[in-house]
A and B are shown apart, each in its own frame.
Chain A
Amino acid sequence: MRLRDTPEEAAFRAGLRAWLAEHVPRYRGGTAPGEWTKALHAAGYSGLTWPVAYGGRGLPPTYQGIYAEESALAGAPDHVNVIGLGMVGPTVVSHGTPEQQKRFLEPILSGEFVFCQGFSEPDAGSDLAAVRTRAVAAADGWRVTGEKVWSSYAHQADWCLLLARTQPGSTAHTGLTCLLVDMRSPGVRVLPLRQSTGDSDFNQIVLTDVPVPRDCVLGPVGEGWRIAMTTLAHERGTFGITLTARLAVEFDRLLRTVHDLGLAGDPAVRAEVAELHVQLQGLRWTGHRTMAALARTGKPGPESSILKLHWSITNQRLAAFALRLLGPAAMLHGPDSHAAGHWQHLRLRSRANSIEGGTSEILRGIIAERVLGLPRTR
């Protein structure tokens, strides 16, 4: 056990911090999709843990953890290719053919291919096994028809990692296949979804008889479930650390709000600030423990579910507390509001935290079954 960076890690962190301080301001805001990825790639910060053979740097997961932490703390732009780099890439490394690896990995690293993910469906929600989008065999491959929902970045994506039912009449986890779909194919329509905040981070993807060539099947036909699970395991890899670091940024902002409102001496406020700090520290250090487990075993354990679960609870608690601090001024949301309505926005946005990326109920179920060994709930 050693809770300090090694000299090599410290040097990497220092270099990264300096680079972020210089580059983040330039890329924050309205840059073209993939621009930030390109800048990262040029500086050598893409694919840190990917094998060298695929253009990565072959570093241990700790470095990805340092990257996740520092970039979030620096307020780096929301990474449009987070799905390509964090989820699709590692899945292609594990399950792709050599041709697919050659075709996709380098462009994902360089930011040339921005990816989105097409797993969820309107009627499936968290139940991925209820996927109804179907792929029908055709002469040159497959023809896909169906509807996907909650796809982040689909409006900016070049490619989509899609889960479709290739075996007619199959149910649940069987008969599914993972497909790499070119978003410029005929029959692909992307419809932005407007959230309760007014933002549009997510999209609906409507697919009508979309042609997918045979060489765009990822992994064996009919084993899409297993492939998708690899992808989702990677989603939880260092994402917990990113989330926690973003929460730390919000916490610092909360401290500033407490000062700005003249509430730093209020005993109730002080107690809640300290409670939130303990929650945040628990998340932060549990993230580092999960990272150590990942470094040793090569894959994140089911314990990583606790980071997502508890992050959503803490983020919601923080947002609710911040709004409470504002008092009646919390009713405003516009130029007259405190910090340009930041807390109002966070309060609305954070409600989705316990739903997106695996609902809290699903995550509790995973912990109960896989970690505690309790019988399956129904």
Chain B
Amino acid sequence: MDFALTDEQRDLSAAAARLLADRYPVERVAGLADTGGVDPDTWPHLRRQGWCDPELGMVEKGLLAQEGGYALAATPWWSTVGLAHPIHRAAGRELTTDPLTVAWQDDPAGGGCRAARHGDRWRLTGRRALVTDATAATALVVAADTDDGVALFAVRSPAAGLAVEAQPTLDRLRGAARLRLADTPGELLVAPGSAERVLADARRHAGTLLACEAVGVARRALELARRHAGDRVQFGRPIGAYQAVAHRLADSYVTLELATSLALRACWLHGAGDTAPAEVAHAHAEAVVAGRRAAVSACEDALQVTGGLGATWEYPLHWWYRRALWLDSFDTPTGAHLATLADHLLTTPPQPAGRPAG
């Protein structure tokens, strides 16, 4: 067993970090968040650096997601590569490098989305909500009900009868949108029968990358706090010299390291190919739970350490905190992940001197 990054993986990570540090200095992150969170300029750079390459391995994607979280990169990369690509791949489509996203969540205001067949064409009518990066996407994958069950459709954006309304969000750098579809043309990507499984796989793929992103968020929060604790002098010494501060950051680091291990492991299992589906599912749940906890607690620890400064709008930490809170609430709730794990652990009594589950 060798749980260490290869030289190539480290190089990829470093190159991605350099690109994003260049594109997203803290002032720019704050500026983008203040003015609506759209950054149309970085996408070609990501493409050039290979962020959308179809042959990118899962661990490599996880490393890129980490850097994305660290820099708080305002790009639709995750929704494109994390969510939409696995569906396009399952549908046998060639993977393009256009920004994409996937719409499957019901609008809390009610109303689902239905697809009706007209000869060999489909038209979609209804609503989808909480669609990440929808305003940036040139095409959408929309889940819609048919007479035979849920199917997945490709919808161009813009398209006839399609309205994409941005919704005000907690995380201003990862917007949500509501889709309204009125007889909008769609192209069948995945037929009923397999669509639910394909969508679930894509969500797991994307969720594993979000666990990595969470690790990046936690790392940045710790980094901001660490720097502040070393610089800020109170009562004649840097506050990092006080145990109450130093020990809090040490705990933050521990939580981050544990989450990093689980996130990378989930990526590896996801990409390994020879892994039992249950093992992948459990590793995914573990990574998401640990990643969310690490991101939220690292930001909260950092906010405490940065004191009054951290509580201001001007100090940029709250943008990472907002991302952590987004990660904490996106898609499957933490309680449901824990329930999945509990089902697995408590279904049958373990044998004496049993071995730990994967």
Contact = CB atoms under 8 A, between A and B. Distances in A.
Contacts of A372: 222, 226, 240, 246, 249-250, 253
B295 to A, nearest CB: 14
Interface residues of B, number: 56
Contacts of B42: none
A342 interface: no
A74 interface: yes
Given A1-B5, A270-B339, A374 B258 contact: no
Contact of B262 (A256, A281, A363, A378): A281
Contacts, number: 184
A280 B282 CA distance: 13
Contacts of A295: 2, 4
Nearest to B244: A377
A3 interface: yes
A259 B350 CA distance: 9
Most buried by A among B238, B253, B260, B342: B342
Given A1-B59, A292-B2, A375-B230, A278 B346 contact: no
A273 interface: yes
A367 B261 contact: no
B1 A3 contact: yes
A62 B1 contact: yes
A365 to B, nearest CB: 7
Interface in A50-102: 62, 65, 73-75
Contacts of A293: 4
Chain A interface size, as a band, is 35 or more
A282 B259 contact: yes
A374 B349 contact: no
Nearest to A360: B247
A289 B5 CA distance: 10
Contact of B265 (A3, A273, A296, A306): A3
Interface of B: 1-6, 9, 59, 222, 226, 229-230, 237-238, 240-243, 245-247, 249-251, 253-254, 257-262, 264-265, 268-269, 272, 286, 289-290, 335, 337-339, 341-342, 345-346, 349-350, 352-357
10 contacts: A3-B269, A252-B353, A255-B346, A274-B289, A274-B339, A277-B341, A281-B356, A286-B258, A295-B4, A372-B222
> Top 3 A-B pairs ranked by shortest CB distance?
A282-B258, A270-B342, A292-B4
